[in-house]
Amino acid sequence: MSKKYDVIIVGGGPAGLSAAVYASRSKLKTLLLEQNRKVGGQPTTYEEMENYPGVLDTTAPELVKNFREHAEKFGTEIERGEVKDVSLDGRIKSVITKDGEEYRAKSVMIATGAEPRKLGVKGEAEFKGKGVSYCATCDADFFVDLEVVVVGNGNSAIEEAIYLTKFASKVTVIVIHEEGVMDAEKILQERAYSNDKIEFVWDSTLEEVKGEGLVDTAVLKNIKTGETTDLSCDGIFIFIGRVPRTDFVEEELELNENGYIEVNSERLDTNIPGIYAAGDVRDKYLRQVITAASDGAAAAMAAVGYIEEEDYWQENVLEAEETVLVAFWSPTNEESLEVINRLEKIDLGAKLVKIDTYKNTLVSERYDVNEIPTVLKIEDGEVVDRTVNPKLEEINEFI
């Protein structure tokens, strides 16, 4: 038997946890599903946390631990489960995990983040977990006093390279750009350059991983000369970006060419009403804990508005036993105010429902209300008549 919620959040990183705080605090019955043993997402694999405003002395794992406690304080239920299938059309959405558990909700938020991008070079898959890693915080203690290679030159790569120097005797960073050029922030570059344990190989990529049971060689290729060289090492850490985890929704949601979920930039809603995407699973300019948390808050409040709007419409219009006159209006539109005033004063012989188009955008869009005032006559949940910009003398005739 499926379990029912107001909101289901798929993914327990900063975006999902932030959304859980806002949704639960808004008195919505909220479930957060996380496939890993611990919630927290990518920050659980980092160490330093220097740029979250107002938090001066904490680690990344400690920060997301506080996120979780905050969400649970307001009543968020957190369960472990990897989602394999979804049914997102209709008023009630369905989420099914690989274990066969089904959960249902009025709104679903996708906050599954992204996973490390693979290079796809020879030996990479063979030696994964045997010297090839994508997480320094997870695996650094296996390389105490050993020599390792880091592939990549963005923020994550350089941060992880610096972290690895706490364990490894030597860290060699493989950079695809010419000497002195990196994608990481300047402050990270300066720290890496000043670290005696870090060396750089420029204009190069990883061509192959070799070893006997465990990694012992990184084959490097110079992109200018094409020359390959063998670099002896005990481990290879690859940080060349991430790929969004969207495979389970690719048949239902609109994705861009790189697999990220397309969303409205303000409400973070997708092409399906009531479905939202937050954090690194959507294409965005800046991928940081603070922007993920911001996404979660925005998407959660959009979901709150959606549920309130849908519940009101369902109860007062679609399930109404009598004829319903729905008047779309705005407090800033004088003509619509006059129509509302007129409708409230006469015997309609029907139920009157007023819809503020500013607050109820989804209903307005669904019924193609592009001008106000607009009045719909609805019977048994179906529109049987419509009038746009009616004159006061025309209202009685329409009724």
197-209, pLDDT tens digit by residue?
A: 999 999 999 999 9
> For 104-118, 162-176, 234-248, 348-362, which range has the lowest pLDDT when averaged over its residues?
348-362
How far is it, in rounded angstroms, from Cα 255 to Cα 270? 9
The predicted model gives 19-43 an average pLDDT of 93
pLDDT tens digits, residue range 207-250?
A: 999 999 999 999 999 999 999 999 999 999 999 988 999 999 99
Q: Report the share of the chain in percent with pLDDT over 70.
A: 99
Q: pLDDT exceeding 90 applies to what percent of the chain?
A: 75
Q: Is the pLDDT of residue 295 over 70?
A: yes
pLDDT at 392 > cutoff 80: no
Q: Is 135 a catalytic residue?
A: yes
pLDDT of the residue at 284: 87
Catalytic entry in 89, 138, 311, 380: 138
Identify whether the C-beta of residue 339 lies closer than 8 Å to the C-beta of residue 390.
Answer: yes
Average pLDDT over residues 375-397: 87
- pLDDT mean over 265-282: 94
Selected catalytic residue, list 135, 183, 283, 356: 135
Contact 231, 216 (CB under 8 A): no
For residue 265, name the pLDDT band (cuts at 50, 70, 90).
confident
Q: Residue 33's pLDDT is what?
A: 97
Question: How much is the average pLDDT of 6-20?
Answer: 97
Q: What mean pLDDT is predicted for residues 279-305?
A: 93
Task: Supply the pTM of this predicted model.
Answer: 0.80
- Does position 355 have pLDDT exceeding 80, yes or no? yes
Domains annotated for the chain, with CATH where assigned, are 3-115+242-313 (3.50.50.60), 132-238 (3.50.50.60), 320-398 (3.40.30.10)
Is the pLDDT at 311 greater than 90, yes or no?
Answer: yes
Range of lowest pLDDT (62-66, 237-241, 342-346)? 342-346
* Least confident residue range of 46-55, 220-229, 254-263, 305-314: 46-55
| d(C-alpha 381, C-alpha 367), whole Å | 12
Look at residue 266 in the predicted model and tell me its pLDDT.
86
Indicate whether 90 pLDDT > 80: yes
**pLDDT above 70: residue 101:** yes
CA 375 – CA 60 distance, rounded (Å): 53
Least confident of 8-22, 167-181, 280-294: 280-294
Q: Is 283 a catalytic residue?
A: no
Residue entry with tokens 């705005």: 330
Candidates 6, 89, 99, 139; catalytic one: 139
Question: At residue 49, does pLDDT exceed 80?
Answer: no
Mean per-residue pLDDT of the chain? 92
Q: Say if residues 33 and 81 touch (Cβ distance below 8 Å).
A: yes
What are the DSSP calls for 302-333, one per residue?
HHHHHHHHHHHHIIIIIT-SS-EEEEEE-TT-
Q: DSSP assignment, residue 128?
A: B
* Average pLDDT of the residues in 50-58: 84
Per-residue pLDDT band at 1 (split at 50, 70, 90): low
Q: How far apart (Å, rounded) are the C-alpha atoms in residues 378 and 7? A: 29
Q: Is 99 marked active-site? A: no
Mean pLDDT value of segment 337-361: 88
What average pLDDT does this structure show over 380-397? Answer: 85
Q: In whole angstroms, how far apart are CA 330 and each of 202, 357, 359, 364?
A: 61, 6, 9, 12
Nearest to 289 by CA among 278, 275, 300, 276: 278
∠ CA 298-304-308, rounded to 5° = 150
Give the model confidence (pLDDT) of 358-373 as tens digits: 888 889 988 999 999 9
